[in-house]
Homo-oligomer: A and B are copies of this chain.
Amino acid sequence: MKTVLLTGFEPFGDESINPSWEVVSRLEGVTDAEECIVCVQLPCVFGESLQVLLAAIARYSPTLVIAVGQAGGRTDISLERIAINIDDARIPDNQGYQPIDKPVVENGPAAWFSTLPIKAIVNALQQEGIPASVSQTAGTYVCNHVMYGLLHALGDKPEVKAGFMHIPYLPQQAAKHPGSASMAAETVKQGLEIAIRTALRVEFDEQITGGTMH
């Protein structure tokens, strides 16, 4: 049986919840004939978040890893294309650490591309009526840090697919951030299930444009 590892974050900044964990944790233990899902919460802390994630990979030997994070203000589910070797934090992490222009991995490559079939996932989400897009940047905070570290660690294991998905605020969060978009937990959960199914099913990504002009 294949194992799918999902991660969500603990809350950070002024938030009391993190939509990534709210949604990911609903899929804990979901099992069908071929796969079972394991969920792990990551601290919103540079370094420690990666240690927890890599320990989970060592423990569960997943064939698919999708890390999920909050992107407050974004309107849709976005599949990150690439993670870059930079930590540049606008606000301190949950341990008070605020790196500026430090590498995630000393002497690591400048970036790692997601190994998820991101175009196929975005297409499947849109076909099923769930707003989705490819994102060209995962930012420079803990989300990018985790995505970079995840892909760097799996660099020599091409048989494991891995990547990062950003999700909007939940409605109850957006209610406190006037003007911000949101997405219901139920919608995000459906989206995550579609992403998992697509990632497990698709061997080669689809040739569909998902780029941006700038």
Contacts and interface: CB of A to CB of B under 8 A. Distances in A.
Interface of A: 69-72, 74-76, 81-82, 84, 86-91, 98, 100-101, 109-113, 119, 125-126, 128-133, 136-141, 143, 166, 171-172, 174-176, 178-184, 186-187, 205, 207-214
A144 B91 CA distance: 28
24 contacts: A71-B213, A74-B214, A75-B174, A75-B179, A75-B181, A81-B86, A82-B86, A84-B111, A86-B113, A90-B211, A100-B209, A101-B205, A109-B111, A110-B112, A129-B171, A131-B180, A138-B214, A140-B212, A141-B214, A171-B187, A182-B183, A184-B184, A184-B186, A184-B187
A124 to B, nearest CB: 11
Nearest to A119: B101
Contact of A207 (B101, B125, B141, B175): B101
A9 to B, nearest CB: 11
A193 B175 CA distance: 17
Q: Identify whether the interface residues of A are mostly helix, strand, loop, or mixed.
A: loop
Contact of A75 (B89, B139, B182, B214): B182
A148 to B, nearest CB: 10
A131 B82 contact: no
Given A100-B207, A175-B130, A178-B133, A139 B212 contact: yes
A131 B84 contact: no
Contacts of A183: 171, 182, 184
Contact of A211 (B82, B89, B131, B175): B89
Contacts of A69: 214
A131 B137 CA distance: 22
Contacts of A129: 171-172, 175
Contacts of A89: 209, 211
